A and B are shown apart, each in its own frame.
Chain A
Amino acid sequence: MAQGASLAAVVAVWAAVVNARLFPGDIVPSPAAVAGRIVGLALSADFYGHLRVTAAEIAGGLALAAVAGILLGVAIGARPLLRRAYEPWLHYLAPTPKIVFFPVMLMLFGVGAASKVSLATLGAFFPIVLGTISGVREMDPVLVQVGRGFALSPYRMLTMVYVPAIRAALVNAVRLGFGVAVVVVLLAETKLSSAGIGYLIIDAYRHFDMPLLAALVLVLFGLAILANAGLARLARHGAPAVSR
């Protein structure tokens, strides 16, 4: 109710700004024009093709980053010596702009999806490994002693003790990693690619199609908010139990 009203208020301000011609030329398209393009996107098969490419790149990168980040995070987090040796390095490397590694990925993996997947992996790795380390650090040490008491193998320790014990921290870490992966994949697509939402955005910019550009950005924001809310739900209610 209030949300609907506030949305209406934002759209009204937007329309007023366009009508008053506060911006030169056609930089800010009218809400009606953008709405038309959003409907157009929703009805075009082409759009879903590009969406699939971007989603696959993000998912691939996120999956690789999650495996590497969680394994390394538990290995480092469980040992105070390793934690103190490596956590500062990871901590200071984490907030560097990952997009600048794109030329390296292009040289290593070519201009196709692999360069974006590898960049997404690099980007999502840091929040996941750091989140895992802090999750392990804060878990009750008695749980580890229980696992040791049952003489669990390292694999069982990981799947039966560490991962379930820090599940909430892991989901939140993956959520942060997801955000980074989305950004680097889309930026990389705007830099050099022939498919994906980022490619569509930069293509709309090149053709100066501002309504399409706005439509793409809004749809993208909507999808990101939905995906993020989904992951947040997972963190709140706990991930579904994995049956073996």
Chain B
Amino acid sequence: MSDAATLSGRVRSRRPRFSPAPLLGVATVLGLLAALEALIRTGLVSPFVVPPPSTVLLAGIDLLWHGNGLEALLATAFELLSAAVLVGLIGLSVGTLLYRVTALRRTYEGWVAALAATPLVLVYPFFLVMFGRSAATIVAVGVVAGLPPMVLRTIEGFAGVRPVLVDVGRALNLRPVRVFWSIEFPAALPVIFSGFRLGLGFALINIVGMEFLINYGGLGQLINEHAELYDLPETYACIALVVVVSAVFVAASEHLERRLRG
């Protein structure tokens, strides 16, 4: 890399130098798993409390291939998708309304922020009474959990639009509706989207948690059933599957957000 290029500051991305860090991370995780395996094999840890990681891995593959692992995964994904659509639509409308109507915003923005700090999921017995043990209850809990960040970030996004951008629209004599859709909304979109992503994360956590609690639906139910049958390798495999799904989901939404930000 030439000095001139460095000085001009035009070169944005340079080839990453080799770093041992990611390797160390992977090695540590594999090492911990190997140590656990060794402890169980030598009898220091009872396999009836923690099954050996290799057994868990095989059980996981078996669940996905022959068992109902994939089916459960799809059920959870469908619930998440439904909740995502609702969180997006409701959150955007409520957030926009609170932003536009100053009187409403003054009184209720604090309420939303306060609600975000409460264990909102605990309203789930109400949904159970209303919808019974069904996907509707699970989706409703997901929506309730995902809404506060979406609403708060929507308000924040609109409030953070730089006034000069709105002035550009006003100087062109655009109607307020036009200014909103052509300028304010796209300008606020990155922040709104980050709230959506945050809300989706909360929704996923609570959807799987709810499946576990009411023993219905996808991956959460699978964990519950295997735990009650004391199928330890399958239980751990399902937990690992949930971890993988949520990690993949977080990575995917981060990737999407980076793409959207350009």
What is the CB-to-nearest-CB distance from B218 to chain A, in angstroms, rounded to a whole number? 11
Q: Chain A residues near B110: list those with CB within 8 A.
A: 3
Which residues in chain B, 77-124, are within 8 Å of chain A measured between CB atoms?
A: 106-108, 110-111, 114-115, 117-119, 121-123
Of the listed stretches B23-31, B34-42, B59-67, B152-160, chain A binds B23-31
Which residues in chain A, 141-191, are within 8 Å of chain B measured between CB atoms?
A: 179, 182-183, 186-187, 190-191
Q: Which residue of A lies closest to B249 (CB)?
A: A95
Interface residue B55 (Cβ < 8 Å from any Cβ of A): no
Interface residue A88 (Cβ < 8 Å from any Cβ of B): yes
Interface residues as binary, A101-124 with B (CB distance below 8 Å gives 1, 0 otherwise): 111101110000000000000000
Interface residue B74 (Cβ < 8 Å from any Cβ of A): no
Q: Is the CB of A6 within 8 A of B111?
A: yes
Q: Chain B residues near A84: list those with CB within 8 A.
A: 19, 21-22, 25
Interface residue SS majority, chain B: helix
Interface residue A205 (Cβ < 8 Å from any Cβ of B): yes
- Contact of A89 with B125 at beta-carbon distance under 8 Å, contacts A100-B223, A103-B235 already known: no
Q: Chain A residues near B204: list those with CB within 8 A.
A: 95, 97
Q: Which of A2, A27, A102 contacts B129 (CB 8 A)?
A: A27
Q: Is the CB of A186 within 8 A of B122?
A: yes
Interface residue A210 (Cβ < 8 Å from any Cβ of B): yes
What is the CB-to-nearest-CB distance from A97 to chain B, in angstroms, rounded to a whole number? 4
Count chain B residues whose beta carbon lies closer than 8 angstroms to a beta carbon of A: 52
Of the listed stretches B7-15, B187-195, B238-246, chain A binds B238-246
Q: Is the CB of A202 within 8 A of B125?
A: yes
Interface residue B57 (Cβ < 8 Å from any Cβ of A): no
8 A-B pairs closest in CB distance: A103-B227, A84-B21, A205-B125, A85-B25, A6-B107, A92-B247, A85-B24, A228-B117
Question: Can you give 19 A-B contacts (C-beta < 8 A)?
Answer: A80-B21, A82-B24, A85-B21, A85-B25, A86-B25, A89-B25, A89-B29, A92-B250, A95-B201, A97-B209, A99-B213, A100-B208, A107-B49, A108-B49, A190-B125, A198-B122, A210-B129, A220-B118, A224-B117
Contacts A84-B21, A88-B25, A104-B235 supplied; 20 other A-B pairs, CB < 8 Å = A81-B21, A85-B21, A88-B22, A89-B29, A95-B201, A100-B208, A100-B239, A103-B224, A104-B236, A104-B239, A179-B117, A186-B122, A187-B122, A201-B125, A202-B125, A214-B126, A217-B126, A220-B119, A221-B119, A224-B119
Q: Is the CB of B205 within 8 A of A95?
A: yes
Interface residue A44 (Cβ < 8 Å from any Cβ of B): no
Give chain A's interface residues, CB within 8 Å of chain B: 2-3, 5-6, 23, 27, 80-86, 88-89, 91-93, 95-97, 99-104, 106-108, 179, 182-183, 186-187, 190-191, 198, 201-202, 204-205, 208, 210, 213-214, 217, 220-221, 224-225, 228
Q: Is the CB of B22 within 8 A of A85?
A: yes
Interface residues as binary, B201-226 with A (CB distance below 8 Å gives 1, 0 otherwise): 10011101100110000011001100
What is the CB-to-nearest-CB distance from B144 to chain A, in angstroms, rounded to a whole number? 12
Q: Is the CB of A96 within 8 A of B247?
A: yes
Q: Is the CB of A102 within 8 A of B212?
A: yes
